[in-house]
A and B are shown apart, each in its own frame.
Chain A
Amino acid sequence: MNRTLFAKELRSNLFVFGIVYAVLVMYIAVVVSMFDPELGKSLDMMMASIPELFAAFGMATQATTLTDFMLNYLYGFLLTMFPFVLIVIMANKLMVRYLDRGTMSYLLATPNSRTRIATTLAGAMVALLALLAMLVTLAEVGCAELMFPGDLDTQGLLRANAGMLALWVFLAGMCFLSACLFASASAALWVGGGAGILFFLMQMLSQAGDKLEFLENVNPLMLFDYYGLAAGEGEAALGAAALAVIGVALFTVAVAVFNRRNLSI
């Protein structure tokens, strides 16, 4: 890791990070405020009228506790899709653009090994995601405690968020590898980004219809079982651990690829 580069990358990604975080905080606040054991029934009625649509966004469970309610409405889509957008933007800023615009030549015109530079860039990405997970947790706990003191199963939420971070790291590793792998900027960005979008679409389809449920078996996103994590199930923890391990492996491969490839910059 190179501290100068790390600091620069944290700074240059802070703006988009802030926007994504602000959007997430807004949704968290709205979802938490919508929780009302009484009013929830009307939401349940709406859900019952168009169950496929709700199911597609992973909001299929009839939530009775605040924790379940949050898991239902936040974790299936909002807390995965928005950070995924951030991941794609960061992969673009941290690697694709450096190579496409040739600014990587400046980074490599310094006595820093390629491994060190790629590790620093990947490190900045993971650090920002970890920070986001932390801040999201804070916002969730804050909102819940503010509006419904004592209702939240904080332990369960923390476990779910650890799994959520593992999922983000997996998605980030995928996008970073794609960024390191391809010479053309659009391929570098959209092979990784496209794979992510595909996984999300597969998830929505398999949740909405019975016929497409087989898609669950080939979708890495399914390793993130937030209900299981919140409930403290061993299998869910294994799934999250697998995501984290695959994510780190993808980053490692990405650094190795970057180390060896030709950079016509």
Chain B
Amino acid sequence: MTLREAPQKAQGGSVEGDALAEDKACGENQASLVGEIFEGSGVAAEERSREVPSGTAAIEVCGLVKDYGKGRGVFDVSFAVQPGEVFGFLGSNGAGKTVTMLNLMGFIRPDAGTARIGGRDCFIERARIQQSLGYLPGEIACMDEMTGTAFLEFMARMKRLQDRNRMRELVDYFELDAGRRIRKMSKGTKQKVGLVCAFMGRPDILLLDEPTSGLDPLMQSRFIDLVMAEKRRGATIMLSSHLFEEVERTCDRVAFIRAGRLAAVENMDDVRRSRKRVFSVTFADAVACERYRTAHPEAAGKSERVVEVTVAGSKAPVRGAAVHSAGSISASMSASMSEAARSTTEPMTGITHSATGSTDAFVKDLAAYPVADLAAREQSLEELFMHLYGADASEKGGSHE
């Protein structure tokens, strides 16, 4: 079985369990874990173990440490990305996303821990890994003096690609005017050049560092469609971002990184469900606002007539499904969730996962007040972070409030 064939298995439903197990699989545990996974699959397992030296994960990071001093870098980061999975890497600027990417690309050597792709060490076997890997650097610094076309042709030769059709397809797809010198291109256009370069080899694995930065909304959604198409083709994709929406629309699972430490790895569905809406309510007069705040002391006052209320997301599906998925959340998340529930400022958000009626309750409750305006937005990444990981996360990450 090759990496390309693996997704069928992964999509067969065992991905959650395997993935969570893999997340914990470091060092000495690894051998037994591999044994467990291969148990009972006979010849296929033998074949696979020959193909992939250790582990089954397409991308595997174990206890990774890269310390740049002054709290910069990554510290004890572990996660695994299964073949065929789209994996999001979410964190604010400087949280350690790019450092992790650089380790995976074999540009830097870990101080401790390992980074492996397809079972191969990312530093030592970089050249071999690159045969089927597409990479988009976080900082687009193409060869300025070349034209886009010349650069792509150069990269295609460096990658020893025979076929230029995919490259042309992608250039058309992103409506890239590649004839100009890269120096003269806008940031978004440069980003397109980088994207074409990353995708043009039909790689098995894609590492994309902040892929949509600089792209306009149309191109962002084209990018998302492309990621989904590549996923269907069987590619394993890891993309980092500081934008929740980007990750939300593409990823199966998401890792939260903060101040160089991995806060958690979650299934996207669970995160989506636990993500809340923030309603900004403007009351008709200050008296009504005061009355509301007395009744709901946890609502955050923004001005004398405006409050912000956090309500469980309206996307939560039927209750049964919510309960089911709650079972697959890692222990650490469950713990921090209940902690968050205790410390959260809004009583309606108390029951996080079965709070299907909370928007309803919020609106009905609000009907008793004279409301001038009501605006809703999704929780920001920081708010979600605070909500998911509570005070613990804010201590680690310093003051973001």
Contacts and interface: CB of A to CB of B under 8 A. Distances in A.
Interface of A: 2, 4-5, 8, 12, 101-103, 105-114, 116, 260, 262-265
Contacts of B128: 111
A101 B157 CA distance: 22
Contacts of B134: 109
Interface string B193-237: 000010000000000000000000000000000000000000000
**Top 6 A-B residue pairs of the complex, sorted by shortest distance between their CB atoms:** A110-B158, A4-B157, A262-B108, A102-B141, A113-B127, A109-B135
B108 A101 contact: no
Given A109-B105, A109-B130, A8 B154 contact: yes
Contacts of B70: none
B141 A108 contact: no
B158 to A, nearest CB: 4
Contacts of B102: 263-265
Interface string B133-166: 1110101011101000000001101111000000
A40 to B, nearest CB: 46
A264 B155 contact: no
A102 B190 CA distance: 14
Contacts of A101: 141
Contacts, number: 70
Which of A102, A108, A110, A262 gathers most chain B CB within 10 Å?
A110
Interface residues of B, number: 27
A124 B240 CA distance: 36
Which of B131, B145, B160, B197 gathers most chain A CB within 10 Å?
B160
Given A102-B137, A103-B141, A103-B142, A110 B130 contact: yes
22 contacts: A4-B154, A8-B154, A12-B145, A101-B141, A102-B137, A105-B107, A107-B158, A108-B106, A108-B107, A109-B105, A110-B155, A110-B158, A110-B160, A111-B128, A111-B131, A111-B160, A113-B126, A114-B127, A262-B107, A262-B108, A265-B107, A265-B137
B48 interface: no
Contacts of A262: 107-109
Nearest to A4: B157
Nearest to B129: A111
B327 to A, nearest CB: 40
B157 A111 contact: no
Contact of A264 (B108, B127, B135): B108
Contacts of A5: 158
A103 B158 CA distance: 14
Contacts of A265: 102, 107, 137
Interface string B87-116: 000000000000000100111110000000
A92 B159 CA distance: 25
Contact of B133 (A12, A105, A109, A116): A109
Nearest to A98: B143
Contacts of A260: 109
A2 B107 contact: no
Contacts of B109: 260, 262
A2 to B, nearest CB: 7
A264 B130 contact: no
A243 to B, nearest CB: 33
B299 to A, nearest CB: 45
A166 B106 CA distance: 35
Contact of A106 (B127, B131, B143): B143
B145 A108 contact: no
Which of B105, B134, B158, B197 gathers most chain A CB within 10 Å?
B158
A110 to B, nearest CB: 4
Nearest to A12: B145
B157 A106 contact: no
Contact of A111 (B105, B130, B137): B130
A5 B153 CA distance: 12
B155 A106 contact: yes
B69 to A, nearest CB: 13
Contacts of B158: 2, 4-5, 106-107, 110, 112
Nearest to A104: B107
A263 B137 contact: no
Contacts of B127: 111-114, 116
Given A5-B158, A265-B102, 20 more contacts: A4-B154, A4-B157, A12-B145, A102-B141, A103-B141, A105-B105, A105-B107, A105-B141, A106-B142, A106-B143, A106-B158, A110-B155, A112-B130, A113-B126, A114-B126, A116-B127, A260-B109, A262-B109, A263-B102, A263-B107
